[in-house]
A and B are shown apart, each in its own frame.
Chain A
Amino acid sequence: MAISEADLLAAHRRLERPLYNVLYRWLWQAHDCQDLIQDAFLRVWDQRLAVDFDRLDALLWSTALNLAKNKLRWRALWRFGEVADDAPGDARDGPLAQAELRQREQALRRVLDGFDRDSRNLVLLSECAGLSTDELVAVFGWPAGTVASRKHRALARLREELKALGIDAIAGATHLESAS
């Protein structure tokens, strides 16, 4: 029991990118995501004596997802605090690539906004963070069968709705003109 600072920093190296990719698809704000990731790690650090190393990643995921939920509630309450969404991507990609990425993100947002919280988290954690079913079980605390069936349903719905927007995510082919 208890984790060391080295454990936490190693977890940060390992999880920062996947956490960012998931949280961004909830908050759509790069700075908010960065703050939230930092906050999640510090919260886990505060309870380090009670944290089992084997549960560290799952705890970081669930803490970050809960913080994102609270952040969205806060935003809903204080709408004047809202700022425009950040454009994702690297400035070195060039304006065309960035615009395309932004369009894709907007399409994904349109679809994800219709999902319930659990389905959205399942899609994001498996697709944007690459978590395995075992890892999803650890994060959600559901039986493996439940995780697998819910994930299957959520992904099928995602595919269907993206297809309805003219996007075939599996083949990587996009027809964003019709989507936008």
Chain B
Amino acid sequence: MSELSVWLPPLEPPPGGYARLTQALDARRLRSARHHWRARLLLAGTSVALVALMLAPLLHRPDPEAQLIAASLQQAWAQGDQELVVKNGAAAEVLKAPGLRVYWVGVAADASK
């Protein structure tokens, strides 16, 4: 026995320390498992997004309607202030102001008619 403990008896720690530690360790284990799953999901998601991004240009098929509209718009732009002529499509003037012409452009259901 030490000198001091003769005079000063050892103190008892408050109860529940052991249970508290086991609970904290359990909570850490659970959190760690959750964290692993989250990390795995994040990795998988990122991989899929990257692959999709790389394959996107290969998978892209130009829409024929969009191509027709683009051609019509280019035509309108090239003509400047002259009347708009749309081939294989339809255009309706929405707004006309000095230096500004706004059209709604679409593709006719049957371009030959």
Report which A residues bind B (CB closer than 8 A). 5, 8-9, 12-13, 16-17, 19-21, 24, 30-31, 33-34, 37-38, 41-42, 45, 88-90, 101, 104-105, 108, 123, 126-128, 130, 155, 158-159, 167-172, 174
Contacts and interface: CB of A to CB of B under 8 A. Distances in A.
Interface of B: 2-14, 17-18, 20-22, 24-25, 28
User: Which 7 pairs, one residue from A and one from B, show the smallest C-beta to C-beta distance?
Assistant: A20-B13, A127-B4, A169-B7, A127-B2, A172-B6, A88-B11, A170-B3
The main secondary structure of chain A at its interface with chain B is helix
B4 A12 contact: no
A3 B99 CA distance: 79
Given A9-B22, A21-B10, A127-B2, 4 more contacts: A16-B17, A19-B13, A20-B12, A42-B28
Contacts of B8: 101, 104-105, 108, 128, 169
Contacts of A169: 3-4, 6-8
Contacts of A168: 7
A45 B4 contact: no
19 contacts: A8-B25, A9-B18, A12-B17, A12-B18, A17-B13, A20-B12, A20-B13, A30-B13, A34-B20, A42-B28, A45-B28, A89-B11, A101-B9, A105-B8, A108-B8, A127-B3, A128-B4, A170-B3, A172-B7
